[in-house]
Structure 1
Amino acid sequence: MELESIVAYLSNKTILITGATGFLGMVLVEKILRVQPDVKRLYLLVRATDAESAAYRMKNEILGKELFKVLKETWGEDFDSFISQKVVVIPGDVSFENLGVKDVIIMENMCTEIQIIVSSAANTKFDERYDISLSINTFGVLHMLSFANKCLKLEMLLHISTAYVCGEKVGLILEDSTSINKRVKEMPRFDFEVVEKNLVNEKLNELRTQDASEDVITNTMKDLGIERAKLHGWPNTYVFTKAMGEVLLSHHSKNNLPFVIVRPPIVSSTYSEPFPGWVQGYRTVDSVIAGYCKGKLTCLLLGPMTVMDMIPVDMVVNSMIAAIVVNANKSSGIIYHVGSSLRNPIKFDDIRSFVVKYFTKYPWINKDEKPVVVRKVPIFKTMATFRMYIKIRYSLPLKLVNKVSGQCFQNIYVKYNQKLRLVMRMVELYRPYMLFKGIFDDTNTEELRKITREGYIEVEDFNFDPTCIDWEDYIMNTHIPGFLKHVLNK
């Protein structure tokens, strides 16, 4: 049987990508342009007020990144011309109907031309304002779905979710919506589009009537998001609104709409493409790395046996492209967990050891030009013991209490309490992942790997098999150096 070609499928295709300024979306854009220069067009929906602002964001926040250096070297002086022929940046916003696209002609062209939609726009802050998270992560999915139904040539809608929509489950977590649907049925009234939207509007109107400051509004809406998430069984606003986005996608998609959902866990730096170690921003575990190397991490809330499900970003992108090609024009609704915890698990405690080993050999040089000495910090296995430690650490020194009084003491007391609350809030946000006890099943993803191995010719070019990762080598020689270079600028 003659093998098919993934790259050939992408030839002459018109693709819409939302979230292209994000980590995952950006790597996808680079990959497609590099491996298939004969792609017809990439529409990039960028949050901006007008075409000029959108073009500025594309130039500086996407193409201006070092990620594109290989592509620029390939095309040389013709790079700008190549981009102008292949990429169309569109000012818009998934929070609005028609994706916020105001130009009627452009909208008509998109609906006529687009064959593939990659829906990766998301707000990934764990405790974002509830109104903002809802508008992007939940209702943004409905707006995308509405647009997809207008696309006359649509072959595939690929939606990026997160493996952690499962909440705080224990054991093997299947590639389906069973746990989400069960919780939805337990909700007193699941009319999400009405109930939650009305709740948000009422709270905002109440705050504005009280002439509340922007800071008060922001903090209140953040607290509301966490409150609603926990009420329904999710640990934070991000995973709750992403889960509800999945629910709305399944509930409102038509039978003839071909779509798949890709759920990555923690996405880390590139494994090999376009070069090893490229990363943008802090990727969960990087906060620990930064704290360790600078000597600012004094303790960790951590289950030593906790499996940290990580997967390099280029592997996620390879899986996305494979999922599009294999499932195109099929009404599947299949879900893919693209992670490593089942087939090549790495414990968080091992990552901690690698980090200490690295910075013992290559210490961070502080502002005084002195190397920072690193060592394994104490681990607290439960939230109760961690709270006790933090309260002791951030309590007012007795000698200070004896020396000051009156308003001065009150100011110090307020400051200490604010710091304590901030620390505990951050710890509570990360707690579900530092103590996570689930393993993500990837049966569907393994089947996708099998199909691409047996039916397509570019297996090596679209690798997303986590079993090939040597975690010590990757952390020590790829991820940490990449994080230092591209994020901490060292």
Structure 2
Amino acid sequence: MTISTDTPDVAEAPPLEGRLRDLLAGKKIVMTGATGFIGEQLLWKILTELPDTTPAVLVRRKGSAGARDRVITLVGKPIFRELVQAAGGKAELVDSRIEVIEGDLPNVPPLPRDLDIVLHCAGDVSFDPPIDKAFATNTVGTRALMEAMLEAVTDEAGTLVKVPHYVHVSTAYTAGRRRGMIPEAQHVHDIDYDTETTWGLKLKETIELESRTPERLTRLRRQAERVHRKAGYLTTARDTEERRRTWVHDKLVEAGTERARSLGWTDCYTFTKALGERVVADLGRNIMVSVVRPAIVESSLKHPYPGWIEGFKMADPIILAYGKGNMPELPASPDSVIDIVPCDMVVNATLAVCATRPRIGEPVFYHVNSGARNPLTFADIYDHVRHYFLEHPLTPGGQGAAQLPTWSFPGAQRVDQLLNTSTKAYEFADMALKIAPRWEVFRQLARDLDKGGEQIAFLRRYLTIYGEYLRSEVTYLDDNTIALHNRLDPADLDAFAFDSSVYDWKEYLEDIHIASITAPIRRMEELKRKRRARPTTYRELTPAKQPGTVLAAFDLDGTVLNSDVIQSYLWVRLPELGPWGRSKAVLGLVRDLPGLLWTENRDRGAFLRALYRRYRGADLAALESFVDDTLTDLIMDRLAPEAIRRIREHRDAGHTTVLLTGTIRPFTRPLTPLFDHIVAADLATDEQGRCTGYLTGPPLVGEARPAWLRHYAAANGIDLAKSYAYADSHADESMLRAVGNPVAVNPDVPLMRVAQADHWSIVEWSSHSAGSRRNRPLGR
């Protein structure tokens, strides 16, 4: 344990003499993090309440958008509307009130030489960042910003021409795993931040190297093959590489967490933020330094309006999960304090700190929190959250309404045991569903299972990241912060108050905060209900601007036709054999079926080749005649009526219709009028026209299909980004990815999961209808 428990000296907050707008008039505040949650409101507050203060924002280029373009986009947000109208436009507001500096952390460009205050509120706010990113942002970036600031106010002789005020927005949780009362002071520890930073950055290279070893890649490739083998080598390779990147990320997170805990901090975020504070203290010996330490920052109490928030913060996923019925328990101590503070109070306190003038070389620390004067326990917040959702459920009563769990706070060990048991049950059920028949009942079971899996993953993530915060035994003292608040000019109290003891938790949580974070969820649910109310399968197609420039590709078996190649084989082979021959053929197929299915699961092409060997000796012309004379009605009765209508809609829209199938060509003969082009497997024949048991070329399956589509599109001037593809099997994932409008039809569970993850259309086409004969494509 290298964190000291010694009580450090506490520097008192300096006084304020006058209104903030006067104290900060004529000042230039160089800001980082203006596009972030707190930074956005800080910028709004400066522009709104400090008319004679110039914010200079450090913003990085993002893609083709330069820093100025990004700031113009930023002021297009609703809270800046009145400011934009008064200025005559977004660009006019930026050019007249904001100085834009294009740059990034740690690559900080030269800063304005007339700066007065540097307000650093950028940083990695994730509680589980990869160790290299945490150090790059929180220590290296802080050092680079301070060095650029000092260079801007230093002349050629190395003398400070002015003493700037550096205001550093950190976090209350830099105290680490301490307990009891935490004063507003520098935390005492003996960590060498230069050494830790060097090793933290080097770990990225070390873990990247390990991820590329043959042993690691073999394990990752085999994991990918178990999921994507049917989809093809390239799909497997893409997933293998994605798994490698995920493995690297997870190992970097693990490395950061373990290093932090080995030194007395909860996680890498608080560890590197604490080291960043030490960087500030060392580089700020000759300037004025203030450090603002907010606790858990949530939506605004009052400004710019009650409930203002950007995204979801630390407590919000737990609140929403409870409202959806997905949070059965919380491994928190009911009497532990969850230290929440509204965003506008953090902003107000930070700007008040900017107006102070601390003594040179004596940093002043400010805790902006509620736990010391207005504590909220986990038992309290549970009562408020439960009461809110009982009064305002996310889903109306009736079928589908969420059942709110009753928490008993059983402790982390009980919850962890529950998670382990649930995880094992999930893994077993998932294995079974991956090989289940392609029926809607199994797809629905998979959807329900996936929701359960997401719930398990969510609970495990929160237990891992926030476990210690749920059982904290600390009180962050806020004497400096309250002393500063009490020195505000009375005229500033309406706009700049930040006393956390004055608001009521029921009003804030139930009437303001939870209502705010659930509003977008309710809007989303309403949109989902509207989408479910209208048919998505038959939405109106956009006609091609030029006929033939858009393509619609269809798989056959399981998509357009309720059949498979084994059934097709039995249809044509059994009638030509006598009773003994039929028995022999069926028995032989039953005997070989496990091997065929095993082959099909690994390699669709090899499976088709093995099956088509059984056509050896068949007369191809007789086979075609048999299909024309006998099987046409059977095939037509197994066509999905929705598929026929959809194909006709594509043709009416001027789209080129293509059938891509591994089925042998004779079985596609009844479908010829529907499609502009049919690609099927062709049986090779000898001089007498009898099948040899081989194909004339490789069957078009898996990743051969997108290759064919790209070649066909290039040769015929077709725009695949506007084209469509329909398929039912995970083996056709690559074909669906080749077009801009993929549609999963009656998908197997693996394809359904891909489609859901990538927001593809998923449709159910009936497999059989007595009216299907009326939908025959003949004559088209």
Q: TM-score range by the shorter chain?
A: 0.7 to 0.9
Does 2:55 align with 1:42? yes
Aligned partner of 1:68 in structure 2 is: 80
Cα distance in 2 for partners of 1:83, 1:374 equals 49
Alignment of 1:186-225 (within 5 A): 191-204=195-208, 207=211, 213-225=244-256
The runs of 5 or more residues in structure 1 that have no matched partner are 102-106
User: How much does 1:423 deviate?
Assistant: 4.3
User: How much does 1:405 deviate?
Assistant: 12
Cα distance in 2 for partners of 1:418, 1:477 equals 29
Aligned partner of 1:104 in structure 2 is: none
Q: Are the aligned partners of 2:106 and 2:141 in contact in 1 as well (CA < 8 Å)?
A: yes
Q: Are the aligned partners of 1:300 and 1:377 in contact in 2 as well (CA < 8 Å)?
A: no
Cα distance in 2 for partners of 1:215, 1:165 equals 28
Residue 3 to residue 190, structure 1, CA distance change in 2 (3 Å): closer
Matched letter for residue 262 of structure 1: V
Cα distance in 1 for partners of 2:48, 2:194 equals 44
Matched letter for residue 125 of structure 1: S
User: How much does 1:77 deviate?
Assistant: 3.4
Local SS of the residue matching 2:106: coil
Residues 127-182 of structure 1, C-alpha deviations (whole Å, 9 max, x = no match): 2111111100121111111112123245311001000111232211111223xx33
Matched letter for residue 151 of structure 2: K
Q: Are the aligned partners of 1:172 and 1:440 in contact in 2 as well (CA < 8 Å)?
A: yes
Residue 344 to residue 111, structure 1, CA distance change in 2 (3 Å): same
Q: Please report the RMSD computed on the Cα atoms of aligned residues, expressed in angstroms.
A: 3.3
- Selected match of 1:464 from 480, 498, 508: 498
Residue 217 to residue 281, structure 1, CA distance change in 2 (3 Å): same
Cα distance in 1 for partners of 2:91, 2:434 equals 65
Residue 397 to residue 263, structure 1, CA distance change in 2 (3 Å): closer
Residues 50-69 of structure 1, C-alpha deviations (whole Å, 9 max, x = no match): 78332343233x32333324
- Selected match of 2:406 from 349, 352, 377: 377
User: How much does 1:321 deviate?
Assistant: 0.9
Q: Are the aligned partners of 2:367 and 2:481 in contact in 1 as well (CA < 8 Å)?
A: yes
Residues 216-275 of structure 1, C-alpha deviations (whole Å, 9 max, x = no match): 32222222212221221222121111111112222232x221111000000011111111
Cα distance in 1 for partners of 2:510, 2:459 equals 29
Aligned partner of 1:157 in structure 2 is: 166
Aligned partner of 1:259 in structure 2 is: 289
Q: Are the aligned partners of 2:326 and 2:455 in contact in 1 as well (CA < 8 Å)?
A: no
Residue 376 to residue 420, structure 1, CA distance change in 2 (3 Å): closer
Cα distance in 2 for partners of 1:118, 1:340 equals 23
Residues 67-89 of structure 1, C-alpha deviations (whole Å, 9 max, x = no match): 3244346x273554233211133
Residues 351-377 of structure 1, C-alpha deviations (whole Å, 9 max, x = no match): 1211121121121137x9967345343
Alignment of 1:367-406 (within 5 A): 372-396=401-425
Q: Are the aligned partners of 2:30 and 2:57 in contact in 1 as well (CA < 8 Å)?
A: yes
- Selected match of 2:70 from 57, 82, 86: 57
Local SS of the residue matching 2:468: helix
Does 2:345 align with 1:324? no
Residue 250 to residue 330, structure 1, CA distance change in 2 (3 Å): closer
Residue 58 to residue 154, structure 1, CA distance change in 2 (3 Å): farther
Local SS of the residue matching 1:89: strand
Aligned partner of 2:470 in structure 1 is: 434
Local SS of the residue matching 1:485: helix
Residue 260 to residue 397, structure 1, CA distance change in 2 (3 Å): closer
Residues 162-215 of structure 1, C-alpha deviations (whole Å, 9 max, x = no match): 00111232211111223xx33x35x8x973343434444444455467787433
Local SS of the residue matching 2:132: helix
User: How much does 1:442 deviate?
Assistant: 0.9
Local SS of the residue matching 1:118: strand
Residue 91 to residue 340, structure 1, CA distance change in 2 (3 Å): same
Local SS of the residue matching 1:243: helix
Q: Are the aligned partners of 1:304 and 1:381 in contact in 2 as well (CA < 8 Å)?
A: no
- Selected match of 1:446 from 482, 496, 503: 482
User: Which is greater in Rg?
Assistant: 2
Q: Are the aligned partners of 1:50 and 1:91 in contact in 2 as well (CA < 8 Å)?
A: no
Aligned partner of 1:333 in structure 2 is: 363
Residue 345 to residue 70, structure 1, CA distance change in 2 (3 Å): farther
User: How much does 1:333 deviate?
Assistant: 0.6
- Selected match of 2:324 from 270, 281, 294: 294
Cα distance in 2 for partners of 1:439, 1:257 equals 30
User: How much does 1:282 deviate?
Assistant: 1.3
Q: Are the aligned partners of 1:304 and 1:347 in contact in 2 as well (CA < 8 Å)?
A: yes
Q: Are the aligned partners of 2:106 and 2:136 in contact in 1 as well (CA < 8 Å)?
A: yes
Residue 292 to residue 330, structure 1, CA distance change in 2 (3 Å): same
Q: Are the aligned partners of 2:308 and 2:516 in contact in 1 as well (CA < 8 Å)?
A: yes
- Larger mean CA deviation between 126-135 and 189-198 belongs to 189-198
Residue 487 to residue 448, structure 1, CA distance change in 2 (3 Å): farther
Give me the TM-score of the superposition, normalised by structure 2: 0.55
Q: Are the aligned partners of 1:51 and 1:91 in contact in 2 as well (CA < 8 Å)?
A: no
Aligned partner of 2:543 in structure 1 is: none
Matched letter for residue 67 of structure 1: I
Q: Are the aligned partners of 2:61 and 2:67 in contact in 1 as well (CA < 8 Å)?
A: yes
Give me the TM-score of the superposition, normalised by structure 1: 0.85
The runs of 5 or more residues in structure 2 that have no matched partner are 1-15, 154-161, 218-240, 437-445, 525-780
- Larger mean CA deviation between 345-354 and 463-472 belongs to 345-354
Local SS of the residue matching 1:395: helix
Structure ranking higher on relative contact order (CA contacts 8 Å, 6+ apart): 1
User: How much does 1:9 deviate?
Assistant: 2.1
Residue 360 to residue 417, structure 1, CA distance change in 2 (3 Å): closer
Cα distance in 2 for partners of 1:48, 1:121 equals 15
Identity %: 26
Cα distance in 1 for partners of 2:434, 2:487 equals 73
Cα distance in 2 for partners of 1:392, 1:5 equals 60
Matched letter for residue 192 of structure 1: E
Matched letter for residue 386 of structure 1: V
Matched letter for residue 466 of structure 1: S
Aligned partner of 2:93 in structure 1 is: 82
Q: How many residues align?
A: 463
Q: Are the aligned partners of 2:207 and 2:248 in contact in 1 as well (CA < 8 Å)?
A: no
